[in-house]
Amino acid sequence: MACEACYFTAKGDSNICPIDQEQIEDSEFFKDRHARREILQLECYCTNKENGCGWEDVVNAFDAHIQQCGYQYVQCDDCKEALLRQNLPHHLEELCDFRQLPCTYCGNMLKIRTVAEHESICHMRPLQCPFVCGANIQLDSIHEHVQQCSMIQDGRTCPYTIIGCQSPITEDVSLHMQQSNTAHAALAISVAKCLQQTNEQLKHDLLAEQTKRLELTKKMEEQNEKQKMMEAGLTVWKQKYEEMANEIAQLKDRSDQTEKEIKKNLEEVNLKLDGQAVQEIGDRLAAVEQKYVDAEGKLRNLPGGSHGGGVVGMDEELKRGVERVDQLESGSAVLSANLSELELKLQLLENTCYEGQQLWKVDNVTFRINQAVTGKVTALHSAPCFQKRGGYKFCSRLYLNGDGMGRGTHISLFFVIMKSEYDALLQWPFSDRVTFRLVNPHNLDESMTESFIPDKNSSSFKRPTKDMNIAAGCPMFIKKDLLAHYIVDDALYIETKISSTS
């Protein structure tokens, strides 16, 4: 039995079942509605518990709660900042860089970043009369005001003062206008020329900005193309990774198949390799060497050209001695190879416990985390452990970069039932409680503990048909950010314990 979401996540785009590695079509699986109803009535707490939410209820009410949970992280539609839902109203009103404020003069709602620029050119902005008549006027009504400004109407100010006329008005303003007509025209042409130059400069600046924008657009398109190529390359690497993972799994199966042969060889070495056999081989080698020395001495003492028959006999004896030495050297090489194999097997046996409680030291944690993140070594396995002598055989599996739902964010820890020669004598399915404990060396009382009771319907706890059953446990055992509290001398200590549920 598998969760539908977990099943499709593990299966990906392939049509290979992640549970039994058999080919299966999407139309061939079915939903366990009875199990779904049972799950929906289970007690649960909000996934935002660490953020401060104290909601607890049944799973069936979770979706409705999470839609309005104040401790759920949401994204501001304007600035895209992630924040708690309960803080969103205050953010929109007081903090968001894209919040809207009314213009002081016209009242239009504008984004806060553009308010100052808009107010500097707002047509409703009050301005002082350029002819200093004392009236406050709006930007879009300057032309109308000039037609009726009291300073001009009373003849106290020349209308061209605004563009630079500084001639004093001693009599009638009309007379001044007639007398200064040429000067006023020159001022108007000068101002128009300046405006024209300014306009040309603005056009030039605008064209430069447009050119830069086109260049940036082109670069963005090139970056998008590069990103697509990188994504395509990533897909290829993922396929290669999956192929390598399959090859590694096949190699693992082959290595497990040779385990029985290693046990047989170990028993043969144990029978053959005892103190008497080694002593006997040494004595025989020493005797042959002595015979070789004696024969060589006899040959040296023979007179030249005499006792030809004796020389021939001695040569034959020497040949037989050399052949015997070669045979012993060959046997010694075989024994050396068997001794090396025996040493490796003994190391494995030394790391195997038979008490149902295993303390696993994971060293070089920093290096192993880097390997997990880069995908070189995703999973670590502890040494095999037995519940007792002749009991269930199991090991622990650790993912330092997470697996399944915890990939990339959590540390995943699983329990694996292994095949052993005592399985026929045991009761199946396996039903004892399994407890994980991540030891905190700085304060043992703050160690991380999780436990579970096996699901009797799960294939993970049935009698193994392969070397290892499917792993079961905690894909979200602990957040990666919290792992540093449990590391000492670049090592982790993980305890796996089996206890009876009765």
Give a three-class secondary structure readout of 187-239.
Answer: HHHHHHHHHHHHHHHHHHHHHHHHHHHHHHHHHHHHHHHHHHHHHHHHHHHHH
Q: Determine the pLDDT at residue 415.
A: 95
Mean pLDDT to the nearest integer, 397-409: 93
pLDDT above 90: residue 368: yes
Is 101 inside any structural domain?
A: no
Mean pLDDT to the nearest integer, 351-370: 85
Mean pLDDT to the nearest integer, 372-386: 90
Distance CA 229, CA 87 (A): 40
**Are 376 and 494 contained in the same domain?**
yes
| Residue that is last in its domain, among 350, 385, 414 | 350
**Are 361 and 476 contained in the same domain?**
yes
Among 37-41, 57-61, 176-180, 412-416, top mean pLDDT goes to: 412-416
**Are 322 and 454 contained in the same domain?**
no
Mean pLDDT to the nearest integer, 430-449: 93
Q: Determine the pLDDT at residue 159.
A: 73
Distance CA 106, CA 112 (A): 15
**SS3 label, residue 136:** strand
Q: How far is CA 121 from CA 114, 118, 192, in A?
A: 11, 6, 21
What's the total number of domains in the chain?
A: 2
| Residue that is last in its domain, among 315, 350, 385 | 350
Is 239 inside any structural domain?
A: no
| Residue that is last in its domain, among 300, 333, 350 | 350
Among 168-177, 253-262, 367-376, top mean pLDDT goes to: 367-376
Q: Determine the pLDDT at residue 243.
A: 83
**Are 309 and 400 contained in the same domain?**
no
Return the closest-CA partner of residue 453 out of 415, 479, 413.
415
Is 59 inside any structural domain?
A: no
**Are 430 and 493 contained in the same domain?**
yes
Mean pLDDT to the nearest integer, 391-406: 93
- Residue 96: band (very low, low, confident or very high) from pLDDT cuts 50, 70, 90: confident
pLDDT: which is higher, 187 or 490: 490
pLDDT above 90: residue 423: yes
Return the closest-CA partner of residue 396 out of 409, 384, 405, 378.
384
Q: Determine the pLDDT at residue 27.
A: 64
Averaged confidence pLDDT in the chain: 80
Is 472 inside any structural domain?
A: yes
Kindly state the DSSP code that residue 95 receives in the 8-state scheme: I
What are 226's two structure tokens? Answer: 């590069």
Using a pLDDT cut of 90, give the percent of the chain over it: 30
**Are 375 and 489 contained in the same domain?**
yes
Is 448 inside any structural domain?
A: yes
Return the closest-CA partner of residue 150 out of 134, 169, 165.
134
**Are 343 and 391 contained in the same domain?**
no
pLDDT above 50: residue 307: no
Q: Determine the pLDDT at residue 30.
A: 67
Mean pLDDT to the nearest integer, 108-129: 78
What are 404's two structure tokens? Answer: 């399944």
Q: Determine the pLDDT at residue 125.
A: 77
- Cβ(415)–Cβ(432) below 8 Å: no
**Are 324 and 422 contained in the same domain?**
no
**Are 386 and 431 contained in the same domain?**
yes
Is 3 inside any structural domain?
A: no
pLDDT above 90: residue 158: no
Q: Determine the pLDDT at residue 305.
A: 45
Is 494 inside any structural domain?
A: yes
- Report which secondary-structure segment, H or E, holds 371: helix 365-374
pLDDT tens by residue, 198-230: 888 888 888 998 899 899 989 988 988 888 888
Mean pLDDT to the nearest integer, 88-99: 85
Mean pLDDT to the nearest integer, 112-140: 74
**Are 284 and 382 contained in the same domain?**
no
Is 258 inside any structural domain?
A: no
**Are 369 and 467 contained in the same domain?**
yes
Buried-state track 424-454, b at ≥16 Cβ within 10 A, e below 16? eeeeeebebebbbbbbbeeeeeeebeeeeeb
**SS3 label, residue 397:** strand
Residue 451: partners with Cβ closer than 8 Å, 6 or more residues away: 433, 434, 435, 436
Least confident of 79-93, 274-288, 327-341, 433-447: 274-288
What are 28's two structure tokens? Answer: 């061939």
State which residues form the domain around 372.
357-499
**Are 446 and 480 contained in the same domain?**
yes
- Residue 390: band (very low, low, confident or very high) from pLDDT cuts 50, 70, 90: confident
- Residue 65: band (very low, low, confident or very high) from pLDDT cuts 50, 70, 90: very high
pLDDT: which is higher, 131 or 196: 196
CATH code for the domain of 388: 2.60.210.10
pLDDT: which is higher, 199 or 276: 199
Return the closest-CA partner of residue 235 out of 21, 403, 12.
12
pLDDT: which is higher, 465 or 338: 465
Q: Determine the pLDDT at residue 383.
A: 87
Other Cβ atoms closer than 10 A to 156: 14
pTM: 0.36
Using DSSP bridges, classify how beta strands 357-362 and 492-499 pair: parallel, antiparallel or unpaired: antiparallel
18 cis-preceded (ω within 30 degrees of 0): no
